């Protein structure tokens, strides 16, 4: 079965919106929205392929950022490996140079766009928090030492009114 290596970009603008491109008629999965990118050429690094594809498709020169996710996807006639990278810096004005429609979409609305199967896990990854708080496992109550209170202290506190009254009666 044929294996196709594809790179795609999650391009974000200053407002945090993400750029989607609509697949044009005459292509597989026409009419669906996708993250811009394309096929890697033999011997091409993912970063170089993404820079080339974004220039060809959108007319921008991108600075490729961190890896986001790699999605393996099986189609009836091929296996696809989608390598997705962040892009938040570029020069030029993104425009559909191949006749494709473009849309800047807030992250919380991405799931409302019909997408190819390989792009759906990308949306799920984008909607996850960028960090998680990890707390220690709670200690069972029996293993916790009791907290000392004024009534359990061996030495009476001189500013405790009950202690002062008891001391006065004893004298």
CA distance 131 to 143: 31
pLDDT over threshold 60, residue 162:
no
What is the residue-averaged pLDDT of the chain?
A: 86
pLDDT-wise least confident of 59-68, 80-89, 103-112, 153-162? 153-162
**How does 29-59 read in b/e, with b if 16+ C-beta sit within 10 Å?**
eeebbbbbbeebeeebebbebbbbbbeebbe
pLDDT at 26: 79
Cα 105–110–113 angle (5° rounding)? 100
Cα 142–148–150 angle (5° rounding)? 145
pTM value surpassing 0.85: no
Q: In what order do the strands lie in the sheet with 67-74?
A: 37-39, 2-11, 78-87, 67-74
Percentage of residues of the chain with pLDDT beyond 70: 82
pLDDT in tens, 107-155: 999 999 999 999 999 999 999 987 888 888 887 765 555 555 554 444 4
CA distance 54 to 90: 10
pLDDT over threshold 70, residue 55:
yes
pLDDT over threshold 70, residue 31:
yes
């Amino acid at each position: 079965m044929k294996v196709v290596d594809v790179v795609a970009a999650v391009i974000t603008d200053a407002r945090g919106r993400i750029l989607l491109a609509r697949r044009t008629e005459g292509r597989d999965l026409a009419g669906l929205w996708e993250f811009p990118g394309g096929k890697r050429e033999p011997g091409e690094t993912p970063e170089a392929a993404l820079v080339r594809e974004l220039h060809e498709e959108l007319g921008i020169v991108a600075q490729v950022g961190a890896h986001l996710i790699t999605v393996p996807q099986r189609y009836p006639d091929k296996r696809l490996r989608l390598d997705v990278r962040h892009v938040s810096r570029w020069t030029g004005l993104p425009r559909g140079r191949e006749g494709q429609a473009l849309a800047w979409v807030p992250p919380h609305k991405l799931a409302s766009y019909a997408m190819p199967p390989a792009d759906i896990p990308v949306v799920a990854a984008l909607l996850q928090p960028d960090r998680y708080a990890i707390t220690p496992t709670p200690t069972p109550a029996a293993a916790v030492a009791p907290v000392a209170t004024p009534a359990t202290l061996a030495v009476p506190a001189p500013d405790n009114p009950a202690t002062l009254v008891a001391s006065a009666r004893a004298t």
